[in-house]
Amino acid sequence: MKKILIAAFFIAIGISQAQAQVTFKPGIRAGANFSHFTKGDSFNNGFYYEDEYYDENQGGRAEFESKTDFYVGVYGALRLTRYYTLQPEINYSRQGSKFKYIEPVPYYNEYGTNEFPVTRSGQTDVSYLSVAVMNKFTFGEKFSVQIGPTLDFVVDKTDNFGRNYTSYRDIDSDVDLAFVAGIGFNFTKNIGIEARVKKGIIPVLDFSDSSHTNVVFSVGANYTFDIK
């Protein structure tokens, strides 16, 4: 009986300590996005030209480059143990990609001169409302590793490819499922910085023989509020 009472005593202490560690604190986060679409494969532009220079076996080539934008969001940090925090988030994230499309066909400019090849460039801006569930693993009180899924919904999109080419490269999906991984550092119990990478798995641009997904690198700051 004595041993049972001693064991029950230590179990009760352990439970009380675990409960004492559970806290919930809201916060805000904001920073810069550096986003682009994945390279994908070369694809045929789908247009046919009656021209001696056109090679029907050679398609156009798409090149995607990084564009800079921003994100802002709110979160709730549910710290379950000393080392683990469950952090649901709602973020507004402006993403997209710069775009360069090189056609293998000749183009006659306003002076009637033959230019070869044709390069069309522009940018796609896509705004998402993101719902994420981050798992934060804390080492000490300063450093953390973050990983989790996010479901992103398109709330706005703008295509601008120049030369009346706007409608040719439209966004094909209104939702994206992505995975996020990153690190964080807390200067104080309220103020911190973080860096993350997000990789989408649903094609944003999807052609017959080429598809492209989101890649986003983000760097920003966060502020956690004290509540009692």
CATH code of the domain covering residue 163: 2.40.160.20
pLDDT digits (tens, 9 = 90+) for 119-166: 677 888 999 999 999 999 999 889 999 999 999 999 998 866 544 343
DSSP code per residue over 118-154: EEEEEEEEEEEEEEEEEEEEEETTTEEEEEEEEEEEE
Q: How many other β-carbons are positioned within 10 Å of the β-carbon of residue 26? A: 13
Q: Which residues contact 30 (CB under 8 A, 6 or more apart)?
A: 70, 71, 72, 73, 220, 221, 222
β-pairing, 175-186 with 191-200?
A: antiparallel
pTM above 0.85, yes or no: no
Instruction: Please say whether the beta carbons of 71 and 91 come within 8 A.
Output: yes
pLDDT surpassing 90 at residue 5: no
| Among 175, 85, 98, CA closest to 130 | 175
Structurally, the chain folds into a number of domains equal to: 1
Task: Name the average pLDDT for the chain.
Answer: 79
Asked if the structure places residue 2 within a domain, the reply is no
Query: Using omega within 30 degrees of 0 as the cis cutoff, is the peptide bond preceding 117 cis?
Result: yes
Asked if the structure places residue 176 within a domain, the reply is yes
Dihedral of CA atoms 186, 133, 206, 61 in degrees, nearest 10, equals 10
pLDDT surpassing 60 at residue 49: no
The reported pLDDT for the residue numbered 46 is 37
Asked if the structure places residue 211 within a domain, the reply is yes
Interatomic CA distance for residues 49 and 68, integer angstroms: 36
Instruction: Please say whether the beta carbons of 204 and 36 come within 8 A.
Output: no
Asked if the structure places residue 5 within a domain, the reply is no
Asked if the structure places residue 218 within a domain, the reply is yes
Asked if the structure places residue 58 within a domain, the reply is no
Asked if the structure places residue 30 within a domain, the reply is yes
Q: How many other β-carbons are positioned within 10 Å of the β-carbon of residue 196? A: 22
Asked if the structure places residue 190 within a domain, the reply is yes
The tokens for 89 are: 């988030």
Structural domain containing residue 30 = 23-44+67-99+122-224
pLDDT digits (tens, 9 = 90+) for 56-105: 444 556 678 899 999 999 999 999 998 999 999 999 999 999 887 766 65
The reported pLDDT for the residue numbered 164 is 38
